[in-house]
């Protein structure tokens, strides 16, 4: 997968993309991430990318020309499955959407800033608008990093254990159950006996029941009317 990220602050990606899963995905050749500085496409001698809002509202808006020229150049080089704009008023990102996007070959992510981008970019270029939550950030860079991580970890071969992502919260419509590791007894705090039993059927049932219990308590809205919510018997 190739991900092209358009931003006016390319340095913001140096930390998140040089560690952990994203770095591993790139090093293994499963992903290519290319950061584009929108200022490089400005025709203004000062490399300005923003201007005042028509109508007299407060704040500045990212101009259409530098963004359009950057996208046009990329689209002339390859076909993109999605051109995504990270924005607070976009569709909320969830696990199902990350799964869907992980199947694509080429994606553009556009990071807004200031009061946003010229609406004509949204009308004529953007294929999907996404938000990582109902709050406002200073720009789309952090959201783009979150989206990139959520997608790349799902690509086969990126994680050391490819089945790990399948047991993540939300993959089966439930939150993940509690997890434990050694030692089995720490200052009297013990791991549940069933997890030490080696009985695969009982462990699977315990995990399901605990995941269901946790979801009911913490995120009851995830349990729709048509979802199976009965506990499994050990």
Residues 28 and 135 in one domain: yes
**What does the pLDDT average to over 69-75?**
98
Distance of alpha carbon 10 from alpha carbon 87, whole angstroms: 18
Is the domain of 107 the same as that of 189? no
Taking the C-alpha atoms of residue 68 and residue 25, their distance in angstroms, rounded to an integer, is 29
Whether residue 73 is found in the same domain as residue 114: yes
On whether residue 99 sits in a domain, the answer given is yes
- 51 membership: H or E segment, kind and range: strand 50-52
Counted domains in the chain: 2
Cβ distance 12 to 146 under 8 Å? Answer: no
Of the candidates 174, 156, 162, 170, which has an alpha carbon nearest to the alpha carbon of residue 102? Answer: 156
* Residue 58 and residue 135 in one domain: yes
CATH number reported for the structural domain that contains residue 6 in this entry: 3.40.1280.10
The confidence score (pLDDT) of residue 45 equals 87
Share of the chain above pLDDT 90, in %: 84
| Boundaries of domain holding 122 | 2-152
pLDDT digits (tens, 9 = 90+) for 78-132: 999 999 999 999 999 999 999 999 999 999 999 999 889 999 999 999 999 999 9
pTM, two decimal places: 0.86
Same domain, 115 and 58: yes
């Amino acid at each position: 997968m190739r991900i092209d990220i358009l931003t006016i602050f390319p340095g913001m990606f140096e930390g998140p993309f040089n560690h952990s899963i994203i770095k591993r995905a790139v090093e293994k050749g499963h992903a290519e991430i290319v950061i584009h500085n929108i200022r490089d496409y400005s025709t203004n001698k000062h490399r300005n990318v923003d201007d005042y809002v028509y109508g007299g509202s407060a704040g500045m808006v990212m101009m259409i020309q530098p963004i359009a020229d950057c996208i046009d150049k990329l689209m002339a080089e390859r076909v993109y499955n999605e051109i995504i704009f990270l924005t607070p008023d976009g569709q909320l990102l969830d696990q199902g959407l990350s799964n869907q996007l992980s199947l694509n070959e080429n994606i553009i992510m556009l990071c807004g800033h200031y009061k946003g981008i010229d609406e004509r970019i949204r009308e004529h270029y953007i294929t999907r608008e996404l938000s990582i939550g109902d709050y406002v950030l200073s720009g789309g860079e952090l959201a783009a990093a979150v989206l990139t991580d959520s997608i790349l970890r799902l690509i086969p071969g990126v994680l050391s254990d490819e089945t790990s992502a399948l047991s993540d919260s939300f993959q089966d419509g439930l939150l993940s159950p509690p997890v434990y590791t050694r030692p089995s007894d720490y200052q009297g705090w013990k791991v549940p006996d069933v997890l030490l039993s080696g009985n695969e059927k009982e462990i699977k049932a315990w995990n399901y029941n605990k995941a269901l219990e946790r979801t009911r308590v913490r995120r009851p809205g995830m349990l729709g009317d048509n979802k199976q919510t009965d506990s499994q018997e050990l």
